[in-house]
Amino acid sequence: MGAGIAEVLSRGGLAVVGIEINQEALDRGRGNLEGSTGRALKRGRLTEEARREILDRIALSTDFAELAGCDLVIEAVPERLELKRRVFEQLDRVCRPDAVLATNTSSLSVTDIAVTTNRPAKIVGVHFFNPAPVMKLVEVIGTVLTEDGAVARVADLVRGLGKTPVTVGDRAGFVANRLLFGYLNQAAAMLESGHATRDDIDAAMKVGGGLPMGPFTLMDLIGLDTCLEVLEAIYQESRDRRHAPAPVLRELVTAGLLGRKTGRGFYSYDKTAAQAAQ
């Protein structure tokens, strides 16, 4: 998601600093950026010059201090509250006091993150969808602590990037995931109960529901670890059993079968597809 978001911002003409935890992750991020823009070049959606400009506007580093001059920071680390809190404490120390700090969380409380900083009025949620360069929706989340105008300014920025912002309250799963994940979880439960096969459930929703992907293909794209984390967060808040994660999802995550990014989830992928999906 980090690489996808960096690409979106750079395509919008903004100078971007991409921070990763170590050199290996940074190299993977660079590979993702090159892969995604390379695909657009091949399809004639970008010229070589435009591609070069997009890549040149993104400076990659492992040093948080590089964020000192940024107006807006978008965090996209894994969906674990303690980890996000640690990152925001660090960002709070390094970034300008007037910088807006945003989380790309899928389902965690933005308020929980905001209160760990000394600038809760400047904390918002900016939730992109996967793959970020393609999906048009961005949910913009304000909390009871967010200052007037911050959500509207971020929504304007999102609009300027060619995306469609919707403004959402700070509730687990916001709007899209709250509705989507009940459906995805039910598909997993259906498979588990022998109601229908994986391929037939996917076909039913793709062909019959007019969706670009069936639920299992989509869960593999999102990442089964993320799916589990999102469901757990929504279930914890809603106690709605439609969001109690289907055991098969937990089983696959425990086994390290996380979907396209690991080469196997509900489906198996060859190495090239797995790398392309990262």
Of the residues 127, 185, 229, 243, only one is catalytic, namely 127
The question of whether 139 is a catalytic residue gets the answer yes
CA neighbours closer than 13 Å in the CB half-sphere of residue 221: 13
Q: What is the 3-state secondary structure (H, E, C) of 76-100?
A: CCCCCHHHHHHHHHHHHHHCCCCCE
* CB-based burial label for 14 (10 Å; 0-12, 13-18, 19+): middle
The question of whether 232 is a catalytic residue gets the answer no
Of the residues 7, 20, 79, 139, only one is catalytic, namely 139
Nearer to ligand 3HC, 92 or 232 (CB): 232
Q: What is the DSSP string of 210-266?
A: --SS-HHHHHHHH-HHHHHHHHHHHHHHH--GGGS--HHHHHHHHTT--BGGGTBSS
The question of whether 177 is a catalytic residue gets the answer yes
- How near is the Cβ of 234 to ligand 3HC at its closest, in Å? 11
Of the residues 32, 36, 104, 177, only one is catalytic, namely 177
Nearer to ligand 3HC, 45 or 52 (CB): 45
109-142 per-residue burial string, b: 16 or more CB within 10 A, e: under 16 = bbbbbbebbebbebbbbbbbbbbbbeeeebbbbb
- In single-letter form, the type of residue at position 108 comes to L
Nearer to ligand 3HC, 145 or 180 (CB): 180
- How near is the Cβ of 35 to ligand 3HC at its closest, in Å? 8
Nearer to ligand 3HC, 41 or 94 (CB): 41
Of the residues 32, 36, 104, 106, only one is catalytic, namely 106
Report helix, strand or coil for 23: helix
- How near is the Cβ of 36 to ligand 3HC at its closest, in Å? 4
Task: Single out the residue of 130, 222, 129 nearest to residue 184, CA to CA.
Answer: 222
The question of whether 195 is a catalytic residue gets the answer no
Q: Closest residue to ligand 3HC, Cβ-based?
A: 106
Question: Is the separation of the CB atoms in 102 and 125 below 8 Å?
Answer: yes
- How near is the Cβ of 265 to ligand 3HC at its closest, in Å? 14
Cβ within 8 Å of residue 271, ≥6 positions away: 263
Nearer to ligand 3HC, 70 or 227 (CB): 227
- How near is the Cβ of 43 to ligand 3HC at its closest, in Å? 4
For residue 141, give both structure tokens: 């989340």
Helix (H) or strand (E) holding 24: helix 23-42
- How near is the Cβ of 160 to ligand 3HC at its closest, in Å? 20
Nearer to ligand 3HC, 21 or 213 (CB): 213
Task: Single out the residue of 169, 207, 201 nearest to residue 183, CA to CA.
Answer: 201
Residues in touch with ligand 3HC (CB under 6 A): 36, 39-40, 43, 45, 106, 129-131, 133-135, 177, 180, 212-213, 218, 222, 226, 230
Residues marked active site are found at: 106, 127, 139, 177
